[in-house]
Chain A
Amino acid sequence: MENETLESRDSRIGQILSLMQQLGSGNLQARETPSERGDDLDEIISGLNVLAQRFSAQLTPLTKTEQWLDKIMEVIIAIASLDFTRKMPIGDEGNVFDAVGVGLNALSEELFASTISRDYLDSIINSIGDAVIATDAEGKVTRLNPVAEELTGWMGKEAEGKHLSEVFNIVNAKTRETAVNPVTQVLESGKIVGLANHTMLIAKDGTEYQIADSAAPIRNSDGNITGVVMVFRNVTEEYYMKEMLRDSGERYRRLFDLLPYGAEVIDLEGNIIECNPHTARMLGYERDELIGKHITEILAPSSIEIFRQKLPSIAKGIAKENIESADIKMMHTNGSIIDVLRLGRPIYDAYGKISNYLSVNVDITERKRAEEERERFALQLSIASDIATQINAILDPDKLLNAVISLIKERFGLYYAHVYTLEETMLKLRSGYGEAGKKMLAEGHAISLDSEISLVARAAWRKEIVVVHDVAAAPDFLPNLLLPDTKSEVAVPLLIGERVLGVFDVQHDETDRFTQADLDVFNTLGGQIATALQNASLFEALRESEEKYRTLVEYSSDFIFLIDNEGVVLSVNQAAARSLGRKPQDVPGKNVSELFPPEIAGNYKRSLKKIFETGTSIANEVVMPAGGEVLWISSSLNPVKDKAGEVVAVLGVSRDITERKQAQELLQESEENLRATLNSIGDAVIATDTQGNVTRLNPVAETLTGWLLSEAGGKPLSEIFDIVNARTRETAVNPVTQVLKSGKIVGLANHTMLIAKDGTEYQISDSAAPIWDADGNIIGVVLVFRDVTEEYRMRETLGESEARNRAILNAIPDLMFVFSKDGTFIDYHATSSDLLYAPPEQFLGKKLRDVFSPELAAPFLHLIKQTIMTEQTQIYEYSLPMDGLQHHFEARLVFYGQDRVLSITQNVTERKNMQEMTVQSEKMLSVGGLAAGMAHEINNPLAGMMQTANVMNNRLTNIDMLANQRAAEEAGIPMESIRTFMESRGIPRMLAAINQSGRRIAKIVDNMLSFSRKSDAVVSTHDMVELLDRTVSLAATDYDLKKQYDFKTIEIVKEYEADLPLVPCEGVKIQQVFLNILRNGAQAMQEAGGKPRFVLRLARETELGMLRIEIEDNGAGMDETTRKRAFEPFFTTKPVGVGTGLGLSVSYFIVSENHGGEMEVVSEPGKGATFIIRLPVERIGTVP
């Protein structure tokens, strides 16, 4: 029996220990649900409890007890060494510690109660490997075990009674700051405390130890903490090892991962066992994909062999220890080759054997490419200069371009090259390489300069190089069937400064073959070619111009000849020879006397003589008989001088002017016709010469100016044609002068008036035009004008009436709008833009629905249509918010001609408001009249009800009443019992309810009566300041108000004008008005929340003879509808039963009807409400 118990107890301890270990190793944390962890805790607690309970009862075999104690100590130490804070999830530590603490305390109590084992416990504590320090409740050391003595450097005896912090000096290993004393913490919290990480103990002699520890409270049977036990251990070695291990491991890992180069580790077979992210990125893999691949899988074929040869030596472990480097090529997943500088070294295991091989791969692709690029660039530059030198020697542009094309194509290793030159707006192919070039040339291939898709055109108009690296990727590339293999293309403009001469275009059969360096070379070359081309072209142009000149002379229709001083003809052109009836080669060498009749020849000789003598030119016209007809010949004979200025020959240019002569005769005839025409037309015509002198006047002009042609001819126009500005009477600008100056047709200025010779004035409209001769020279001016006096007068009258109309319109204060039939604002009239809802630019040209809300615009548009359809005036009333207030408008829509409507719009806000107010007071008066009639009818039944209730109350509850006592006696029930019964059944309360309701009805009736005009007013003069202030303090004590609101929390701002006049009024009533407003305001502000504030204002309104009283609250404010109805009787926004809805209407009535004042409210939702009361300062007439 006993054995059994012992065994079960042992197994329980075993269970607890294993749980402890789990706790310690953090396995508990792995449990997923809190309930699982809870179960474990329960297990520990109950285990410890059971252990404690049974302990004393079964002490008997001491040996066994000793064994248990051993185990219990193990439990204690296990718990104490746990680094709970680190291993337990946050929030659970407290529970665990508490639980364990409860169990342990129970156990230790039992233990210490049985005095037997104190020595034994001592011996255990002394013999365990961990340091143990115990303190009392004040944190003073009570004992140290030998290990603790060794670590702290304090002997038990010295340390006892000293404060723990003195003996146990701990700091943070990293910061060297004093660490929190764990004992203090335990004493404060009553919980087990683990030491912070990195805690370092400084021994008495200064030796430092890295320690791991924890402290736990010792509790007595009452649960009070009597001391703390602290267990710790020197973990210096462990700590450093761990720190170092972690450091180096981490350092290696971080280095490996952050290396800006690829790095991988392969095993001796060449399998990748590790690689860093850079390697993966460099080769286009995910990191995990690379692990396990063979090294040859990521190498370019050309490098695989190198590795094949190297691997065996790696495998045999004979690779060199020092770093090997090699240029190899690796393969990207996208197939591209990456040049890599590979640095490798073996990794040795603990036995000095090679275990792995680490390589660092530096991507040198860019560097390699750049090197190649530099080489190519240098080569190409030399090619370019070579080409430039060669082509500069060629003077024929076509030959030049042909040479350029072949040189570029061949020297740059291109697929194709051709060149275009710019001719006006077309880029014409001038030279192309090979068969394709020939074919295109034969087809006359050309590109329009404004072609957007052509690279060549683009290069020309952008004046910059255009490159397509991959024609397949260029969306608008036009493939050329003759050049199927083109993969990339560059078009280079041939520029001289800003001038484009052409474009050369080169193509490659590989993509991405043109580098920036290439483009630079091409650009340079483009300039060279352009210069060479320009030189060649200039040369050609020069040659051409010489030839042109010769051709000109040769084929000119003029007779051109060269004669020496003897009259011998030196040379003639074809036309000259022909005119002489000879062949060109027959004429030279002959004398003029042989070629012309004697008379003409004599003339020539005389002229020649004169030219040779004077060195001047001679021009003449001669008539020459030719085959029965007469030819008119005009000649110009010019000296040809040598370098010394001596006349050596005469160059003659003659022309047959027979036709011209005939034309002149015809002209004279038409001149006669013209004159006849001019004379017969209705308009006045005056012609002048280039000096502005009159040359012609037709009869109408004679009539208007009062001048005859015979008088006027040769006189300056300004004398004949005296014009002034009709308005200013200033001299008007002479149109002829203007025409002569500008060479253009000129209209007369408006309001021009002609003053005739006799002083008659004519309003005229006219214009003047230049007269050109056949050579385009102005030879005179013709002025045409007309008498428009009549017309002008009519127009003036019209303008005046229009101006009058406009003046009238401007004076009309109404707004006017013109609408088209679709509701577009076409025009408007407003005496001030303040009257408008929106500035003109926001509505002119816009539709109604773009300016107004749909609710407003739709009926408006409907009425516009209606107006157009019926041609009847329509009226539309609407309202718009302006300056924070609602404005009312009345638009009269008038038919305004085809598809137009004129809206005459009046702002009727004032009128509306007046109407509103009138309706308001009418309404109240009728309510008042009704109330007066009704009051009697209501009051009587009310009296029956309330008075009866009054009597009932007396009869049911009044003990002292004789009648009651008598009746009670008769009924055999004591009156007291009746009252008790009544009270317990709540009868008096019910009667009171009847009474209260009745009173309310009576009050409503009474209020309504205020609306009847009758008033027994007691009028005296009052100081409004005093009255208002008194009302405010009254409001603060008002019971009804207090029920709903604490008036004292409301801030009162007073803005009173000084020296206000007294107001004759009925003080009590005005006070009632103020009170009503204050009540409503207070309630509104309470509902709105926020900081309540009243602003009270008193001011004089001198013009009106009124005193203005304003009460402004900052409550929720009212919307339009509420505001309009605020003074309406029985209108209330309060819940049923809270207000009668009469307060404000009574107030309104008091102010307007009883005092002849005004009352209004200004409010908007969210902006509070301001009640404005105006009371007349002087009483007008008697009190109504």
Chain B
Amino acid sequence: MKTILILDDEQVVRASFVDFFEDCLWRSIQAESAEEALKLLTHETPIAAIVDVRLPGMDGNEFIREVHRRNISMAFVVCTGSPEYVVPDDLLELSSVSSHLFKKPVTDLADLEKEILRIIEHEKEIG
């Protein structure tokens, strides 16, 4: 079963993502901080993550960098409510990070799944 990591400090938002992906027959694991998510990754191997940017402690950008540093291969989609946020250039260079920034509220969650599946496919092709 495909596993997805939902990283968001807002419980309600997290739940909405979790519920959606479960309906799409994903297994979801969730974390409300980057630190907690990194801990989860020690024993979980999700193939994708929905990452919020503004988080208590380590922020979303740093989290992606850290995961990348640990050589864990997975797809990232950034989803934030901050209007002024732009995906930093170093992250955009990574093929595992979606160049499409999802702004909260996400009006069609199905787009989100499509984008994740696209990146995974893309990663596979690259090898």
Contact = CB atoms under 8 A, between A and B. Distances in A.
Interface string B8-51: 00101101110110110100000000000000000000000000
B108 interface: yes
Contacts of A961: 23
Interface string A936-972: 1111111111111011001100100111100000000
B106 interface: yes
Contact of A947 (B22, B80, B103, B109): B109
Interface stretch (B68-76, B81-89, B90-98, B118-126): B81-89
B16 A1014 contact: no
Nearest to A944: B12
Contacts of B127: none
B105 interface: yes
A1005 B107 CA distance: 15
A998 interface: yes
A935 B105 CA distance: 11
Given A936-B54, A944-B12, A947-B109, A954 B20 contact: yes
Contacts of B12: 941, 944-945, 948
B104 interface: yes
Contacts of B109: 947, 950-951
Nearest to B79: A943
Interface string A361-376: 0000000000000000
A939 B81 contact: yes
A950 B20 contact: yes
A946 B107 contact: yes
Contact of A943 (B23, B54, B104): B104
Interface string A908-942: 00000000000000000000000010011111111
A1006 interface: yes
Given A932-B83, A963-B22, A941 B16 contact: no
A999 interface: yes
Given A940-B10, A940-B81, A945 B105 contact: yes
A935 B106 contact: no
B16 A944 contact: yes
A947 B84 contact: no
A935 B16 contact: no
Interface string A1006-1040: 10010010100000000000000000000000000
Nearest to A949: B16
A631 interface: no
Interface residues of A, number: 33
A936 B105 contact: no
A856 interface: no
Q: Is the interface of A mostly helix, strand, loop or mixed?
A: helix
A101 B114 CA distance: 85
B106 A948 contact: no
A963 B16 CA distance: 15
B23 A947 contact: no
A734 interface: no
Contact of A946 (B22, B23, B84, B105): B105
A1002 B105 contact: yes
A1009 B84 CA distance: 9
A995 interface: yes
Given A954-B20, A963-B25, A947 B83 contact: no
A943 B12 CA distance: 8
Choose among B12, B54, B106, B108 the residue with the greatest number of A CB atoms under 10 Å from its CB: B12
Choose among B10, B81, B108 the residue with the greatest number of A CB atoms under 10 Å from its CB: B81
B22 A943 contact: no
B23 A1014 contact: no
B23 A998 contact: no
Contact of B81 (A943, A958, A1014): A943
Contacts of A937: 81
Choose among B20, B23, B104 the residue with the greatest number of A CB atoms under 10 Å from its CB: B104
Contacts of A948: 12, 15-16, 19
Contacts of B22: 963
A939 B104 contact: yes
A943 B106 contact: yes
A964 B81 CA distance: 30
A951 B81 contact: no
Given A954-B20, A1002-B105, A947 B25 contact: no
B80 to A, nearest CB: 8
Contacts of A945: 12, 105
B105 A951 contact: no
Given A935-B83, A940-B81, A951 B20 contact: yes
Given A940-B10, A999-B107, A947 B20 contact: yes
Given A947-B16, A948-B15, A948-B16, A995 B107 contact: yes
Contacts of B23: 951, 954-955, 958, 961, 963-964
Contacts of A998: 105
B101 to A, nearest CB: 13
Choose among A950, A962, A964, A999 the residue with the greatest number of B CB atoms under 10 Å from its CB: A950
Nearest to A948: B16
A947 B81 contact: no
A359 B104 CA distance: 115
A950 to B, nearest CB: 5
Contacts of B17: 947
B20 A943 contact: no
Contacts of B82: 935-936, 939
Contacts of B104: 939-940, 942-943
A944 B54 contact: no
A951 B19 contact: yes
A945 B10 CA distance: 12
A938 B23 CA distance: 26
B84 A940 contact: no
Given A936-B83, A939-B104, A995-B107, A950 B16 contact: yes
Contacts of A955: 19, 23
B13 A940 contact: yes
B25 A962 contact: yes
B105 A947 contact: yes
A1005 B105 CA distance: 12
B84 A943 contact: no
Contacts of A938: 81
A1012 B22 CA distance: 39
A944 B107 contact: no
A943 B16 contact: yes
Interface string A1081-1118: 00000000000000000000000000000000000000
Contacts of B83: 932, 935-936, 939, 1005-1006, 1009
B105 A942 contact: yes
Contact of A936 (B19, B20, B81): B81
A329 B70 CA distance: 146
B25 to A, nearest CB: 6
Choose among A935, A945, A947, A951 the residue with the greatest number of B CB atoms under 10 Å from its CB: A947
A944 B20 CA distance: 12
Given A995-B107, A1014-B84, A943 B25 contact: no
B81 A935 contact: yes
A939 B25 contact: no
Nearest to A1008: B83
Nearest to A950: B109
Given A936-B81, A940-B104, 9 more contacts: A932-B83, A936-B54, A943-B16, A943-B105, A947-B16, A948-B12, A950-B20, A963-B22, A963-B23
13 contacts: A935-B83, A939-B82, A939-B103, A941-B10, A942-B104, A942-B105, A943-B16, A950-B106, A950-B107, A951-B16, A963-B25, A1009-B84, A1012-B84
A-B complex: 10 closest residue pairs judged by Cβ atoms: A939-B81, A944-B12, A947-B16, A943-B104, A943-B105, A946-B105, A948-B16, A935-B83, A951-B19, A940-B81
